[in-house]
Structure 1
Amino acid sequence: MAKETISLIEIHELCVAALTNAGAHQAAALAVAGSIRDAERDGSFSHGIFRLPGFVASLRSGKVDGTAEPELSFPTPALILCDARRGMAPYALQRALPELVRATQRMGIAALAMRNSAHFAALWPEVEALAEAGLAGIACTNYLPVVAPAGARERLLGTNPLAFAWPRPNAAPLVFDMATAARALGDVQLAAREGASLPEGIGIDRDGEDTTDPAAILSGALIPFGGYKGSAISLMVELLSGSLIGQMSSLGNAEADNNDGGPPPRGELIIGLNPDLLSGGCWRAEAETFLKRLEAQPDLRLPGQRRHARRGHVTTTVVEADLIETVRALAF
């Protein structure tokens, strides 16, 4: 499949143009375009420019409101509610995350309940924003049912990602962002586009048989990582980002979705933790001793290190030529 090298600057410009053409206001378009550009920069290609046509489709269908202004409320000093009002999550998060940082700094532990937000990006930006403020963070969201729980054949769970960040003095934070499915849905979709096969243990076909064919998995189901253990973690994400904050499960999201290929507005839970307050100010030495012992292992890479290493030198990305042609058509 033909590829094209394109600058991150042009990626950003094309995304802004395509999103505003589809009805997003400038601030929302800039926020989403920034998340797409940063995903390409960091090598998270399944959350990069590949996602743009879905965002545009959801704006054009009216499922997502590109002009929505998020509404914030504060039921307690440690709880922020953000109703994105069917708006795009990166824009709503720009408004809500600073409030979570302030609440966590004051209270030690605080939570942000995001409601009705169209999330199509990676989760690491949320928790990384907390780590940059010297805080630890946890985030999770559900999706549409594309995963069959361990012991089942029916799609009942989302890919249900879970992200975590830990601050480090004088170093990039430790950050992981992972689907609780054996593979992120976007990675499977990219493999199907490219005609590539996947490793065993990623998904099943319509008959419930193991398969390495991404197209068969897309018509069948992904499976959780780690069997019953991953399935239990995915179930936790369903409840934390669904019922706990007054939102629907992945099944409920599917029932309300118009199947335009874009992100369904849904819930996300973000928890901030202040290690200074929780530890009495003595967390750094213990954590760094432990992490440096890990770093001393010759073949071990801490989560997030590769992503951060790319940031200092990556200015271009390689994208499928037909995808860029589609994006340019949406932009102009």
Structure 2
Amino acid sequence: MTDTDGVKMSLDALADMSRTILTRHGLAPAHIEAVTRTIVAGERDGCASHGAYRLLVCINTLKTGKVVRDAEPRVAEPAPALARVDAGGGFAQLAFERGLPLLVQKARANGIAALAINHCVHFAALWPEIEALTEQGLVAFACTPSHAWVAPAGGTRPIFGTNPIAFGWPRADSPPFIFDFATSAVARGEIELHRRAGKAIPEGWGVDADGHPSTDPQAVLQGAMLTFGGHKGSALAAMVELLAGPLIGDLTSAESIALDAGAGSSPIGGEFVLAIDPAGFLGAEAAAHIARAEALFTGITDQGARLPSQRRYDARARSMRDGVVLPRALYDDLQALLA
């Protein structure tokens, strides 16, 4: 169904469109399925900046030649509680899926385990990875640098990426408690969506190329984004650079954008994932102590506050029932990829 504002699609139809577009542009089948799952999940959960729009980002990256279309991830075990996947220059989704079983196995054997994904191209949110771990009853943390688009607190020149961090806590009878946010004031995709829509962005999201505050999305995209919370967000951004950069032998955001060399690809580098099995600390009492967290969540919601990701879960229920609506301009751009 179409109108002047949008095109309504089922989730299956969106997945088919994603597969067709990615196939048309030469991505290998295993990567197509992994990327499609992530894109459909973003749109399904109402995350417009990480949903169908990211197909445009993927295809642009494929056109730059900065991603290996048929990369075969290689899984390794550098230590008893560590797993590593060399993505071989491919998109991160398939590398994570290949490393997930070993990460879960090691977390259960050791109580805690970490996964390093190296040499990957990352364009998506982190919550799909976190949710996959909470589904296994694990507590999880993940982070990744990006391109140097963000200035440090007190600065005006980009050195950090948007550098998201994500955390997940499993719940027995409810969707997991998950947060996933950029350490920049907003995800870069949000600024891109404002630019596409011809809308001004809020003050505090970024500065222009001369370091002056700006509400013009194009000026900020050409200047620098800002961290959230001033020096606090800036410190967290630096933490991400270190954990998912030098610690795992991969690129910082400044190194990633230098390697891009103006091609305009998605960020190139690594991802750091930590998984904790509550039974490692608590043994047979794990379920009882995990359940104690429900009092915390109730204390939040009983006063009218919203848990992180609740908006996503509400959107998920609606879209699984009713499908999704893509903005007409985005749908036309996606169809043009098939021309």
TM-score normalized by the length of structure 2: 0.93
**CA distance in structure 2 between the partners assigned to 1:3 and 1:30 by the alignment:** 29
**1:117–1:265 CA contact under 8 A, matched in 2:** yes
Identity in percent: 42
**CA distance in structure 2 between the partners assigned to 1:57 and 1:192 by the alignment:** 17
**2:46–2:316 CA contact under 8 A, matched in 1:** no
**2:310 — aligned with what?**
305
Label 1:247 to 1:286 Cα distance change in 2 as closer, same or farther (>3 A): same
Residue of structure 2 aligned with 1:284, choices 281, 287, 290: 290
**2:93 — aligned with what?**
90
Alpha-carbon deviations, 1:202-222, whole Å to 9, x = none?
Answer: 111122122222222112111
Label 1:2 to 1:219 Cα distance change in 2 as closer, same or farther (>3 A): farther
Q: Does 1:154 align with 2:164?
A: no
SS at match of 1:313: helix
SS at match of 2:94: helix
Residue of structure 2 aligned with 1:320, choices 321, 327, 330: 327
**1:126 — aligned with what?**
129
- How far has the Cα of 1:265 moved from its partner? 2.6
Alpha-carbon deviations, 1:65-123, whole Å to 9, x = none?
Answer: 12111000001121001000011111111111122111111111100000011111110
**2:251–2:268 CA contact under 8 A, matched in 1:** no
Alpha-carbon deviations, 1:221-269, whole Å to 9, x = none?
Answer: 1100000011000000011111110001100001111433331331000
Residue of structure 2 aligned with 1:261, choices 255, 260, 264: 264
**1:57–1:260 CA contact under 8 A, matched in 2:** no
**CA distance in structure 1 between the partners assigned to 2:291 and 2:170 by the alignment:** 12
Please show how residues 66-215 of structure 1 align to structure 2 within 5 Å. Answer: 66-215=69-218
**CA distance in structure 2 between the partners assigned to 1:207 and 1:157 by the alignment:** 18
- How far has the Cα of 1:319 moved from its partner? 2.4
- How far has the Cα of 1:290 moved from its partner? 1.8
Deviates more, 1:166-175 or 1:23-32: 23-32
Residue of structure 1 aligned with 2:66, choices 63, 68, 73: 63
Residue of structure 2 aligned with 1:296, choices 282, 298, 302: 302
What amino acid does structure 2 have at the position aligned with 1:319? L
Alpha-carbon deviations, 1:144-196, whole Å to 9, x = none?
Answer: 01101001111111000000000111110000110000010000110111111
Deviates more, 1:277-286 or 1:18-27: 277-286
**1:70–1:82 CA contact under 8 A, matched in 2:** yes
**CA distance in structure 1 between the partners assigned to 2:295 and 2:83 by the alignment:** 34
**1:4 — aligned with what?**
6
SS at match of 2:143: strand
Matched residue count = 331
**1:58–1:261 CA contact under 8 A, matched in 2:** yes
Q: How big is the alpha-carbon RMSD for the aligned residues of Structure 1 and Structure 2?
A: 1.6
What amino acid does structure 2 have at the position aligned with 1:83? D
Please show how residues 7-26 of structure 1 align to structure 2 within 5 Å. Answer: 7=9, 8-26=11-29
SS at match of 1:260: coil
**CA distance in structure 2 between the partners assigned to 1:323 and 1:259 by the alignment:** 24
SS at match of 1:138: strand
Deviates more, 1:180-189 or 1:306-315: 306-315
Gaps of 5+ in 1: none
**1:146–1:157 CA contact under 8 A, matched in 2:** yes
SS at match of 1:85: coil
**CA distance in structure 1 between the partners assigned to 2:128 and 2:279 by the alignment:** 22
**CA distance in structure 2 between the partners assigned to 1:175 and 1:241 by the alignment:** 20
What amino acid does structure 2 have at the position aligned with 1:324? Y
- How far has the Cα of 1:11 moved from its partner? 1.9
Alpha-carbon deviations, 1:284-319, whole Å to 9, x = none?
Answer: 232122222222112x01111111122223143232
**2:134–2:140 CA contact under 8 A, matched in 1:** yes
